[in-house]
């Protein structure tokens, strides 16, 4: 086995080779805290309250399955109820969590996990390696309801399994209750990242439900059973999700008895957190007056590098958007810097590819599509769109260039950006209209692959070493040049080669414009001063949730 000391990951200058060589990460370096929380040992322990209230901007869909969830609102609940084999540390290095340790084979095609002993599901049944195999075999099933992830396609035996030539996926083997191995067809640079994003689920809970029915199994979806720090209690649609402490959690007994995710309107969240109805809320408005109001009320404001971005998804299968020049024109037409300056007050960055803004794989020579009405109009003209009747609206072959901007409610900045984008498009002769709905209704537009649309405003989370993810809804990249480039990225383990391959793919994406990249807002949290041990970092908000507590 290859062995090496762990070093910082990605833009902290970790090479992929060193990453692949990381092995036997034990309890002492584990991402979860195996000691009692400081709250439990504090002299102020007697003044603790028994509930933490955490604000969500939008209602979760109730899809609390760790493999099929598709919104950040469901993800928050999933990451609190379920556990992951590995998590990311502050330097974006991989840390064993539900796993006790892991190791790579000499050729980097086999990843071995040793699981912690004594871990129990919330219903008292023991977690075993069989649960791990069941979880990650399911995603290779051709009936997997959200589309087979790239991770599964890299496993040995994938084709035979997905074509029902065998009932056993050769790419996942179990030695005993505590040892499970993943075998890949080639070295796979994004393997560990997948585990940081998709927790393990219980075989005994889900095995009797066909995979094709996983997203319609409402009773199971809305009563999740995990191994995480908090147990599920209740989901009141549109209001809250109630959890209670898992006293047997392997990372230590949670410091707070109850955890409640409250659905709070962004217009009232400041009042809610100031009067104690909510303890923690993500910041939705960087207006200096709003930030000052928080601070004046004694509320702490935490700001960190973003792990996500906002974008306008384009239906590249839509005939009027199938021409690359038209899509490029849309990016030029939107004054994205103005959106960052006016709506985020500079607390964010304009983005030009599906990648974290400070990722070392981001090439410096990408087209930045600087705001230019002239360039946008030139490209549209080249694509045949002209105002032939002088009414101010572009047309082609007798068709007016109409464009409906669909956007979900719940994210204040995104809502405010919609009319700005609408006006930008009108300025170049596109008849743009707005259509708002609740988050899940808007998301359904993207989930229906057969449905045509113009544009959908949406947000996605970046994933280290993974590109083309399903949470960046693009009807593009599944074949041709982009697919070839993605395959090269995923198989490059050596850092120099990986960075070149990733940059090549990002250049292809940047040119093709599968969506209008808008901005990456800095993440921020408003936290009551009574909240203790809340310490989020990029990609990981709930990694130490068992340590959080609130004093009176």
CATH 3.40.190.10 domain span(s) along the chain: 35-82+228-305+523-552
Strand partners, 434: 405
According to the model, what pLDDT value does residue 470 have? 56
**In the chain, what's the furthest Cα-to-Cα distance?**
78
Strand partners, 523: 304
Interacting residues of 41 by C-beta distance below 8 A, sequence separation 6+: none
As a whole number of angstroms, the distance between CA 245 and CA 101 comes to 25
> What does the buried/exposed string (b/e) look like for 499-536 if buried means 16 or more CB atoms within 10 Å of the residue's CB?
bbbbbbbbbbbbebbbbbbbbbbbbbbbbbebbbbbeb
Mean pLDDT of the chain: 89
Return the H-helix or E-strand segment holding 130. Answer: helix 129-138
For 406-439, letters b (16+ CB in 10 Å) and e give: bbbbbbbbbbebbebbbebbbebbbbbeeeeeeb
**372 vs 387: CA distance, rounded Å:** 19
Topology (CATH) of 308-521: Dipeptide-binding Protein; domain 3 (3.10.105)
Helix ranges (DSSP H) in 202-323: 203-206, 218-221, 269-274, 288-296
Q: What is the pLDDT of residue 315?
A: 95
**HSE (side-chain half, CA atoms, 13 Å) at 291:** 14
Q: Are 299 and 526 in contact (CB under 8 A)?
A: yes
What pLDDT score does 471 carry? 61
Structure tokens at 538: 């990029």
Among the four given CATH numbers 3.20.20.60, 3.40.640.10, 3.20.20.80, 3.90.76.10, the one describing domain 1-30+84-216: 3.90.76.10
How far apart are the C-alpha atoms of 414 and 348, rounded to whole Å? Answer: 13
Distance CA 150, CA 477 (A): 12
Report CA dihedral (224, 230, 234, 236) to the nearest 10 degrees: -100
Helix (H, G, I), strand (E, B) or coil at 48: strand
Q: Considering the entire predicted model, what is its pTM? A: 0.75
Q: What is the 3-state secondary structure (H, E, C) of 297-327?
A: CCEEEEEECCCEEEEEEECCCCHHHCCHHHH
Distance between first and last Cα of the chain: 51
In the chain, list all ranges with CATH 3.90.76.10.
Answer: 1-30+84-216
Residues of the chain with confidence (pLDDT) below 50? 1-44
Residue 260 tokens, joined: 């409640």
Taking the C-alpha atoms of residue 361 and residue 501, their distance in angstroms, rounded to an integer, is 9
Say whether domain 35-82+228-305+523-552 belongs to CATH 3.40.190.10: yes
Q: What's the DSSP call for residue 541?
A: S
Mapped onto helix, strand or coil, the DSSP state of residue 461 is strand
Q: What is the pLDDT of residues 473-487, one digit of tens each?
A: 777 877 788 888 888
Residue 469 confidence (pLDDT): 63
DSSP three-state, residue 88: strand
Portions of the chain given CATH number 3.10.105.10: 308-521
- The pLDDT assigned to 42 comes to 44
């Amino acid at each position: 086995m290859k062995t090496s000391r762990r070093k910082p990951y990605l833009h902290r200058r970790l090479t992929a080779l060193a990453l692949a060589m990381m092995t036997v990460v034990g309890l002492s370096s584990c991402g979860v805290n195996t000691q009692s929380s400081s709250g439990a040992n504090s002299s102020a322990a007697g003044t603790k309250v028994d509930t933490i209230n955490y604000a969500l901007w939008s209602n979760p869909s109730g899809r609390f399955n760790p493999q099929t969830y598709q919104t950040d609102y469901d993800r928050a609940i999933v990451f609190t109820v379920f556990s992951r084999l590995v998590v990311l540390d502050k330097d974006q290095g991989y840390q064993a969590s539900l796993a006790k340790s892991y190791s790579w084979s000499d050729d980097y095609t086999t990843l071995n996990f040793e699981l912690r002993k004594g871990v129990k599901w919330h219903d008292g049944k023991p977690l075993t390696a069989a649960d791990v195999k069941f979880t990650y075999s399911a995603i290779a099933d051709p009936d997997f309801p959200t589309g087979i992830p790239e991770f599964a396609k890299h496993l040995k035996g994938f084709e035979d399994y997905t074509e029902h030539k065998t009932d056993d996926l050769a790419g996942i083997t179990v030695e005993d209750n505590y040892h499970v191995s993943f075998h890949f067809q080639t070295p796979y640079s994004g393997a560990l990242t997948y585990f940081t994003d998709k927790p393990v689920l219980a075989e005994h809970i889900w095995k009797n439900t066909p995979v094709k029915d996983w997203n319609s199994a409402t009773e199971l979806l809305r009563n999740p059973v995990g191994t995480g720090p908090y147990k599920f209690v209740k989901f009141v649609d549109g209001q809250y999700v109630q959890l209670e402490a898992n006293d047997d959690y392997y990372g230590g007994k949670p410091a707070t008895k109850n955890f409640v995710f409250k659905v709070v309107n962004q217009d009232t969240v400041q009042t809610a957190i100031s009067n104690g109805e909510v303890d923690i809320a993500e910041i939705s408005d960087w207006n200096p007056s709003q930030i000052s109001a928080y601070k004046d009320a004694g509320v702490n404001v935490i700001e960190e590098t973003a792990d996500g971005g906002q974008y306008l998804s384009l239906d590249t299968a839509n005939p009027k958007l199938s021409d690359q020049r038209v899509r490029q024109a849309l990016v030029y037409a939107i004054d994205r810097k103005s959106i960052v300056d006016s709506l985020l007050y500079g607390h964010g960055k304009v983005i030009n590819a599906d990648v974290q803004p400070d990722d070392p794989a981001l090439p410096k020579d990408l087209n930045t599509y600087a705001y230019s009405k002239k360039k946008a109009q030139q490209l549209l003209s080249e694509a045949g769109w002209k105002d032939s009747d002088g009414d101010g609206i572009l047309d082609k072959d007798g068709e007016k260039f109409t464009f409906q901007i669909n956007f979900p409610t719940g994210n204040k900045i995104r809502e405010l950006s919609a009319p700005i984008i609408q006006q930008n498009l009108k300025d170049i002769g596109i008849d743009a209209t707005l259509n708002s709905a609740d988050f899940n209704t808007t998301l359904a537009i993207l989930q229906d692959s057969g449905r045509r649309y113009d544009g959908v405003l949406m947000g996605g989370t970046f994933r280290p070493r993974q590109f083309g993810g399903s949470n960046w809804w693009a009807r593009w990249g599944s074949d041709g040049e982009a697919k070839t480039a993605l395959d090269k990225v995923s198989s490059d383990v050596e850092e120099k080669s990986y960075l070149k391959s990733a940059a090549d793919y990002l250049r292809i994406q940047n040119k093709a414009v599968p969506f209008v990249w808008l901005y990456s807002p800095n993440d921020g949290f408003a936290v009551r001063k009574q909240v203790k041990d809340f310490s989020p970092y990029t990609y990981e908000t709930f990694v130490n949730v068992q340590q959080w507590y609130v004093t009176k």
